Chain A
Amino acid sequence: SQQGEEDPQALSIQEGENATMNCSYKTSINNLQWYRQNSGRGLVHLILIRSNEREKHSGRLRVTLDTSKKSSSLLITASRAADTASYFCATVINTGTASKLTFGTGTRLQVTL
């Protein structure tokens, strides 16, 4: 079962615009991670934010985390055609045997020229 949902399911923007994707989850977490997947390939880790952090940056990526609302957002600034991919949030619940990544449903981002 999925830990949460992502919104929107699909997003189409023009190159240079910003893209914002949202993720909601259900249970308390240790950390939340964002991944990118190009067309049926493996996932690439983008950024990890711990439960005691509220915001994190990496290059053109900005991630926020609101544990009171159990939600996170990923902002990609000045998007490029190469950013076209599916983006997934995933949570880690560190409770011994439950220590695994649980993925959201993903957002398909299309960046057009």
Chain B
Amino acid sequence: EAGVTQSPTHLIKTRGQQATLRCSPISGHTSVYWYQQALGLGLQFLLWYDEGEERNRGNFPPRFSGRQFPNYSSELNVNALELEDSALYLCASRASINYGYTFGSGTRLTVV
């Protein structure tokens, strides 16, 4: 069974540009979670998608948005990139509430 896959692995963007990150959950998982891990700030919850709908979002500005496609894969978009958006972005999926989450290897975004 394939795990959670994320692409690209690394992404370098210039301040002000837009970044698009992609995630494919484990087959059969309908929920996708996005987390940001910035240096010194720990793992911060960004967005939760389930069955194509945004169910919850963390304390991030509207520049951070995303969507979930009918095949349950997901996209995270970050507009008007700022230097402090540089971080490891992790995607996860889960089978149900009482199962552990499976994380992808992440996308390391560097804003210069």
Inter-chain CA distance A5–B14, complex, in Å, is 34
Inter-chain CA distance A47–B108, complex, in Å, is 26
Q: Is the CB of A88 within 8 A of B43?
A: yes
B33 sits at the interface (CB 8 A): yes
Question: Measured between C-beta atoms, what is the minimum distance from B80 to chain A in Å?
Answer: 24
Residues of A within 8 A of B97 (CB): 30-31, 92, 94, 99
Q: Is the CB of B56 within 8 A of A100?
A: yes
Q: Which residues of A come within 8 Å of B, CB atoms?
A: 1-2, 30-31, 33, 35, 40-48, 50, 88, 90, 92, 94, 97-106
Q: How large is the interface on B (under 10, 10 to 19, 20 to 34, 35 or more residues)?
A: 20 to 34
Inter-chain CA distance A105–B40, complex, in Å, is 9
Inter-chain CA distance A47–B101, complex, in Å, is 10
Q: Which residues of B come within 8 Å of A, CB atoms?
A: 4, 33, 35, 42-43, 45, 48, 55-56, 59, 88, 90, 92, 97-106, 108
Residues of B within 8 A of A46 (CB): 100
Q: Is the CB of B102 within 8 A of A45?
A: yes
Q: Is the CB of A101 within 8 A of B42?
A: no
- Indicate which residue in B101, B104, B105 contacts A101 across the interface (CB closer than 8 Å): B101
